[in-house]
Structure 1
Amino acid sequence: MALKDRIQFDEAASAARAEACEKTLMTAETRFDAEREIARGLGGQVDAEGRAHFGFWVPELQDARVPSGDIFLEVLAPTTPLDLTRAHQELTFERVYVPVIRTEAHCFAVVSGMQAGNRDALGDFYALCWRDAEENWHRILDPLAMSLPFGAMAPAELYDVAGMLAARGDAEYWQALKGPAPHKFGPVSNILQIHVPTATAGGTIAALTRQFERLASRIEADLPLEPADQIFAGYEGVQLLPVEPTTVYETGPDFWSETEGDDDAVTVSLLRPDTTNWGYDNVIAGMAAVNPVLLETGRPDELVDLAAALHNFPGTPKKLVFDVVYGHSDNQGLRVLNGHFFAGPNMYGQNLDYQNPSVRAILLEMQRRKVNFGADGVRVDGAQDFKYWDAAAQVLRHDDDYLQSMSDIVQEVAGTEYRPWFIFEDGRPWPEEDWELSSTYRSVIESQRDDDVFQWGPLTFAHNTPFLYTFWLGKYWRIRECLSVGANWISGTSNHDTLRRGTQVNPKMNINTRLGNTRMEILDKAYDNPAVHTLTYVALPGVPMDFLNAMARASWGFVRNQDDKYGVKVVAEEAISLNWQINEYSYSIPGNFTRLKALGYETREDLSRFLTFLPALVEVTDYDLEDIARLLNTTEPKLAGPVYTVDSLKEIARAWMNDMHEYCNITHSLGSLDPVQCDYTLALRKFRAARPWLRDNYGPKDHFGYLEPLDGRTVFTALRHGPDGEQVFTVLHMEGKPTSDVDPLRLGVPGTEGFGWECVLRSPGIGADYVSGPLVLKDSMALVFTRKG
């Protein structure tokens, strides 16, 4: 049936929606209360009778004085089957314009006959549109869309979200938590942080789900785990880097490009979204949806399937944590959101206007819808960036009330109401110059009502470099803070940010060469270090977190191929990572760096020479691409690569990002994982999970210190006491020269006197037959002893 024949505008129901909106605005206690209620009905939704309900907040139409008779709901449906798994297709879409009922800054429409998408079928596409006095049409996209097969810059797909959630495979998990009051999730024992595109060969959420299903099957069958499985095992929490739609290519191609059309039909060139991104370059629009780049099938059901696989995991269910980014928008957000969303530019793009009641309500509604996919926890990126201008005092203030609103939201999954566990990354007063010294990492913890709110701790925040000599003594004052107030901190030194910062460090600095024979070995061991893991999992309070790429000893960096204007500058900033992560052998492998090789950089030396010149020229020319290209062409001997022009520099930048993204996939390093190291780190995770009290702050009988005199090495000792009387004693060689023969149980640490100690964990390099007595401890070695009460 033709689209125009099956679509029917329900004027009465649309008018009722508009009247309800108007009544809410007039009767709610505050404007924000009204906007929160209205926001529940915004976007495209399907009711129990199959009717489609649409609501839009469009203050820009008020600003432009657009008459109601020129505003329509645009509905689009392909005339031939659309395959979301194809790279490119050109299709004709039928188009119907449906009237809307407008009340002030809101428009509503209720429509019968629309096809809602589901796991097995594609739904109709939609947007709001308006006509100006010159008969030109303008499109307004839905920021609250739940399915965006072609990204946030294209029309949305109407999706049967209720049907998707009703069919979830973990309903029993959720129903078991149901009670008279909303269930409140607390902290997990540890977290595995995952970047979906580099976590599996498939690079999709579906591929990651299969990885956990395979792991679950092997554990249920009591089969041995290989290192490639072990790095996923033993974690109670799984935190995904953001899975929201991100920026698109600045200068194209667009994923949805209309080539010709009229009122009844339009021809559209469709590209399967293929951007590479680390997840934090969001445009705010589409935050309730799933990034189509991560969807193997193009269906958001994949995220529900992953939640189910984790929640149904044998033994202890794994908790799913979403990482959300509401502290800023990339400048591309200006293309898809009206100007009322923004409060001016910042270092990332645009500040958001949290003081606008409509914006505040819509942002919180986006969060509510996203978490309802089935997340147990939420990590809030850059909480220090949630600010507003206090006009009376003429200062910027942190919007802690908004942060509290985020953690107050009551979610509902499978009929169970709950409140997730919340983690905030907040380094205020960052980005002030003294932030590393003055940040307490407790600003949100101290301001929120719940006692289980967490923040990233000082060893987890950016700019940690555990491969530099004296790092651990230099951070000792922060470690002392962890002992007394670290119970509500996320701990550990490996995450998406610290590993990226590590690759940007000048290799001429005071590098701890005892960590490895090459820079690649040094970097890998610094962020997957037995002693550091032992410190995190046994000695320190809080909740440990590991980054999958670090545990797999895979590469990692700033991967984003959308930039046109600043892409070359970003590559110049990343150039040092070549020294840390890519050697001659890895570059020479035929499947690696194919794009850069095709551009003329046949060897690593060719690329290294170019990347030596580029950062210097970016600086001396003040990033003038024409000058940079001219100077590169004058070098003697001549540089490898193409003739340098502005366009070829941008092509090189895109090739670098795409090649690095592929190179960072952990599948390249799985074959070289050390079974002894993987066994040890898994044993640490099990040790921590069996002793939840290790999360607590130190008590009066607990001890932490280092051996003195230093004698050229840093050796930490830690003694902890459990509520059942168990003692846990740890000796950790963090850096420096080997010790002479030392007896760990005869170091004079108060509380370790006497007998009954058992050595339960030995880091790689210490034989399995070691029980006690003198031994030589070398860099990165650790021992854990226990004694029953």
Structure 2
Amino acid sequence: MSLADRIVFDEAAATARAEACERILTEAPSRFEAEQEIARGLGGQIDADGLASFGFWVPELQDYRVPSGDIFLEILSPTEPLDLTRAHQDIRFERTYVPAIRLESHAFACVRGMKAGTRDEVGDFYALVWRDADDAWHRILDPLAMSLPFGAMAPAELYDVDRMLAERGDKGYWQALASPEPHKFGPVTNILQLHIPTATAGGTIASLTRQFERLAARVEAGLPMDPADQIYLGYDAVQPLPVEPTTVYEAGPDFWQESESSDTGVTVSLLRPDTTNWGYDNVIAGMATVNPVLLESGRPDELIDLATVLHNFPGKPKRLIFDVVYGHSDNQGLRVLNGHFFGGPNMYGQNLAYQTPAVRAILLEMQRRKVNFGADGVRVDGAQDFKWWDAGAQELKHDDEYLQSMADVVQEVAGTRYRPWFIFEDGRPWPNEDWELSSTYRWVTEHQRDPDVFQWGPLTFAHNTPFLYTFWLGKYWRIRECLNVGSHWISGTSNHDTLRRGTQVSPKMNINTRLGQTRMEILDKAYDNPAAHTLTYVALPGVPMDFLNAMARASWGFVRNQDDKYGVKVMAEEAISLRWQVDEYSYSMPANFSRLKALGFETRADLARLCTFLPALVEVTDYDLEDIARLLNTTEPKLAGPLYTPETLKAVARAWMDDMHDYCNIGHSLGSLDPVQSSFALGLRDFRAARPWLRDNYGPKDRFSYLDPIDGRCVFTSLRHGPDGEQVFSIIHMEGKETEDFDPLRLKIPGLEGFNWECVLRAPGIGEDYVSGPLVLRDSMALVFTRKV
């Protein structure tokens, strides 16, 4: 049966949708509340009776005065099986149009006979289209789509979301939380943050799910764990970097390219999406679903599978935290969303028009649909960027009401209604120059109604450089703040942003060479440091978070290969990371940097020479690619690589990004992990999990200080008191010279006096036979003692 014969326009149902929209707009208490109710029906949805309903917010059609007779739902159906795991395929699609009913800024269509996608089968694709006075067609994509196999810039797939949610394997986890009132998730013990493409050798959500399935089986069987297992264990929650669709290749190719088009069919050259991105370059469209780059099968069910394996983990369920980015859109968002979504340019691309009722409602609806995949918590990126223009005051103001509304959304999974635990990254007044000094990191926690809302703390925000001498004493004032108000902070120094910033620091600065013999060793140990871990997990309040790449001592950086215009500039800004993360041996490995080697950079020295020139030339030429290429070609001796032109410079930058992305995969470093270090870090996580009271702020009997006089080293001491009478004492050598021989338990700290202390944790470098008594502490060493009083 042809597509045109299969599809039946249900005019009565579409008319009913439009009439319901008009009634809501008339009767709702406010325009925003009306748009919230309408937003529930936007996007493509299919019910149990097979009725496919589509709703779009289309104020641009009002702007263009497009009559209803020129607005249609476009339906596309592949004429042969579509394999979403193929890199490239040319597929003929049948095409048909059905009428859409427009009510002012909304348009609706309802049809029967459409095929919805499932885990096992690809469905029909769709978009809204309109015809202009010259009979040219224009396509409006669905920003609320639930399946985007070819990215946010291509037609969406109608997906059977109800079936996907009904087939989830963690229903028991959710049903156990059911209650008359929505369940409210509170804070977790600690968090493992990870970037899915570099978190496993496979680089997909399915690959990560299999990793946790294997771990679960080994834990259940009581098998021993090696370091490659331990770095994933001991965490109460897993927080992937954003999993929403991101930008596409700026200069092409598109993943959906049409040819031989007619009213009844079109040939499409389909490319499997393969961009590399760290997740924060979103286009807002598609935020309700999953980035197809991360999907091994091309099916969004993979995200539910991840939630399922975490929630069913033996011993104690692991929670899943989504990282969402609604504070900005990349400029590519202008390609897929109408102009009413945007509030003007910003440093990342575009502000969003939060004060527009329909935009506000659609963003919250995107969030609701996404979290319904099964997230227990939500981390909001860049909350300081949620702003609106106050025309009366002639200034940008923070939209704190919107932040509150994000935390107020009620989710529903497997019949259980709940509100997730919320974390906000909010460094206001960032990006003001004085933000490091003036930010309190407490605006949201002090102004939201929810007592369990958290923020990233000052030791977790960007620009932390724990490999520079005096870093820890320089941050001592922030550490004192952690003691008093840190119970609602995410703590720790390793995350996607701090590790990236670390690789951008000049090696000519005052580097703590006691951390290692080489720059690579220094950087690795700075962010996977026994002393810093002890400070975070034993001494400080809050919820610790570790970044998997740091714990695996793998490389990390700003990974994004979509740029054409500014790709060379991005490479120049990241070029210094070569000095920190790549040595001659690593570069020489055949599997590493293959693209750059193919362009003529046969050795690390070849590439390092270009990376020395490039940042300076970007600056002195004001990023003129013609000038940069000309100057590079005049160097003596001649630079390695191709003859430089603007195009070959872009090719080198693209190769750099792709090679670095592959190099950052933790699979490269698992074989060289130190079992002593991995076991110690896991021991700290288990220690914290057994003592949830360590999250609380310091009480009147608790003590934190440093050994005085400084005498060339920074050694912190912490004495904490639990509600059950347990005392926890830790002594932590953060940096500097070794101490003299001394007995930590004989320090003059009120409350430390007496006996019965037991040494329960010893950092690497301290023998397992140490129980108490005098010893010498060196950089990165730490001890933890406990006793009951």
Q: CA deviation at 1:508?
A: 0.3
| 2:744 matched residue in structure 1 | 744
Q: CA deviation at 1:2?
A: 1.2
| 2:613 matched residue in structure 1 | 613
What is the distance in 2 between the residues matched to 1:186 and 1:238? 15
Deviation string for 1:365-412 (max 9, x for gaps)? 000000000000000000000000111111211000000000000000
What is the distance in 1 between the residues matched to 2:51 and 2:225? 49
Q: CA deviation at 1:681?
A: 0.3
| 1:422 matched residue in structure 2 | 422
Q: CA deviation at 1:298?
A: 0.2
What is the distance in 1 between the residues matched to 2:241 and 2:478? 26
| 2:534 matched residue in structure 1 | 534
| 1:510 matched residue in structure 2 | 510
| 1:725 matched residue in structure 2 | 725
What is the distance in 2 between the residues matched to 1:631 and 1:719? 60
Q: CA deviation at 1:102?
A: 1.0
What is the distance in 1 between the residues matched to 2:400 and 2:723? 35
| 1:78 matched residue in structure 2 | 78
What is the distance in 2 between the residues matched to 1:20 and 1:184? 32
Question: Partner amino acid for 2:456?
Answer: W
Q: CA deviation at 1:91?
A: 0.7
Aligned partner of residue 661 in structure 2, secondary structure: helix
| 1:219 matched residue in structure 2 | 219
What is the distance in 1 between the residues matched to 2:282 and 2:291? 10
Question: Partner amino acid for 1:746?
Answer: R
Q: CA deviation at 1:522?
A: 0.1
Aligned partner of residue 612 in structure 2, secondary structure: helix
1:594-609 equivalences in 2 (<5 Å): 594-609=594-609
| 1:769 matched residue in structure 2 | 769
1:313-328 equivalences in 2 (<5 Å): 313-328=313-328
| 2:631 matched residue in structure 1 | 631
| 1:334 matched residue in structure 2 | 334
Q: CA deviation at 1:627?
A: 0.3
What is the distance in 2 between the residues matched to 1:274 and 1:157? 19
What is the distance in 1 between the residues matched to 2:357 and 2:601? 53
| 1:128 matched residue in structure 2 | 128
| 1:454 matched residue in structure 2 | 454
Question: Partner amino acid for 1:62?
Answer: Q
What is the distance in 1 between the residues matched to 2:521 and 2:195? 22
Aligned partner of residue 429 in structure 1, secondary structure: coil
1:143-292 equivalences in 2 (<5 Å): 143-292=143-292
Question: Partner amino acid for 1:389?
Answer: W
Deviation string for 1:662-704 (max 9, x for gaps)? 0000000000000000000000000000000000000000000
| 1:293 matched residue in structure 2 | 293
Question: Partner amino acid for 1:636?
Answer: E
What is the distance in 2 between the residues matched to 1:653 and 1:259? 31
What is the distance in 2 between the residues matched to 1:395 and 1:262? 50
Question: Partner amino acid for 1:224?
Answer: P
Normalised by the length of structure 2, the TM-score is: 1.00
What is the distance in 2 between the residues matched to 1:340 and 1:85? 36
1:451-600 equivalences in 2 (<5 Å): 451-600=451-600
Q: CA deviation at 1:101?
A: 1.0
Aligned partner of residue 358 in structure 2, secondary structure: helix
| 1:302 matched residue in structure 2 | 302
What is the distance in 1 between the residues matched to 2:393 and 2:565? 37
What is the distance in 2 between the residues matched to 1:50 and 1:219? 43
Q: CA deviation at 1:217?
A: 0.3
What is the distance in 1 between the residues matched to 2:651 and 2:437? 41
Residue 663 (str. 1) matches residue 673 (str. 2): no
What is the distance in 1 between the residues matched to 2:316 and 2:788? 25
Aligned partner of residue 769 in structure 1, secondary structure: coil
Deviation string for 1:152-189 (max 9, x for gaps)? 00000000001000000000000000001000000000
Deviation string for 1:406-433 (max 9, x for gaps)? 0000000000000000000000000000
Question: Structure 2 unaligned runs (5+)?
Answer: none
Question: Partner amino acid for 1:629?
Answer: A
What is the distance in 2 between the residues matched to 1:211 and 1:81? 30
Question: Partner amino acid for 2:375?
Answer: A
Question: Partner amino acid for 1:447?
Answer: H
Question: Partner amino acid for 2:275?
Answer: T
| 1:410 matched residue in structure 2 | 410
Once structures 1 and 2 are overlaid, which stretch shifts more, 400-409 or 1-10? 1-10
Residue 373 (str. 1) matches residue 373 (str. 2): yes
Deviation string for 1:52-86 (max 9, x for gaps)? 11000000000000110000000000001110000
Deviation string for 1:2-48 (max 9, x for gaps)? 11111000000100000000000000000000000000000000112
What is the distance in 2 between the residues matched to 1:719 and 1:686? 19
What is the distance in 1 between the residues matched to 2:418 and 2:91? 43
What is the distance in 2 between the residues matched to 1:759 and 1:557? 38
Aligned partner of residue 316 in structure 1, secondary structure: coil
What is the distance in 2 between the residues matched to 1:477 and 1:10? 66
Question: Partner amino acid for 2:607?
Answer: L
What is the distance in 1 between the residues matched to 2:704 and 2:173? 40
| 1:101 matched residue in structure 2 | 101
Question: Partner amino acid for 1:682?
Answer: L
What is the distance in 1 between the residues matched to 2:180 and 2:272? 45
Aligned residue pairs total: 789
What is the distance in 2 between the residues matched to 1:547 and 1:224? 23
Residue 680 (str. 1) matches residue 680 (str. 2): yes
Once structures 1 and 2 are overlaid, which stretch shifts more, 220-229 or 386-395? 386-395
Question: Partner amino acid for 2:677?
Answer: Q
Deviation string for 1:702-726 (max 9, x for gaps)? 0000000011000000000000010
Q: CA deviation at 1:779?
A: 0.1
What is the distance in 2 between the residues matched to 1:729 and 1:46? 59
What is the distance in 2 between the residues matched to 1:261 and 1:369? 34
Question: Partner amino acid for 1:742?
Answer: F
Tell me the C-alpha RMSD between the 2 structures: 0.4
What is the distance in 1 between the residues matched to 2:389 and 2:562? 31
1:684-703 equivalences in 2 (<5 Å): 684-703=684-703
Residue 440 (str. 1) matches residue 453 (str. 2): no
Q: CA deviation at 1:749?
A: 1.0
Deviation string for 1:346-383 (max 9, x for gaps)? 00000000000000000000000000000000000000
Aligned partner of residue 261 in structure 1, secondary structure: coil
Q: CA deviation at 1:259?
A: 1.5
| 1:343 matched residue in structure 2 | 343
Q: CA deviation at 1:226?
A: 0.8
Residue 641 (str. 1) matches residue 664 (str. 2): no
Normalised by the length of structure 1, the TM-score is: 1.00
What is the distance in 1 between the residues matched to 2:91 and 2:614? 43
What is the distance in 2 between the residues matched to 1:86 and 1:2? 26
Aligned partner of residue 139 in structure 1, secondary structure: strand
Aligned partner of residue 485 in structure 1, secondary structure: helix
Question: Partner amino acid for 1:415?
Answer: G
What is the distance in 1 between the residues matched to 2:105 and 2:754? 76
Q: CA deviation at 1:578?
A: 0.3
Residue 353 (str. 1) matches residue 353 (str. 2): yes
- Structure 1 consecutive aligned stretches of length 4 or more whose deviation exceeds 4 Å: none
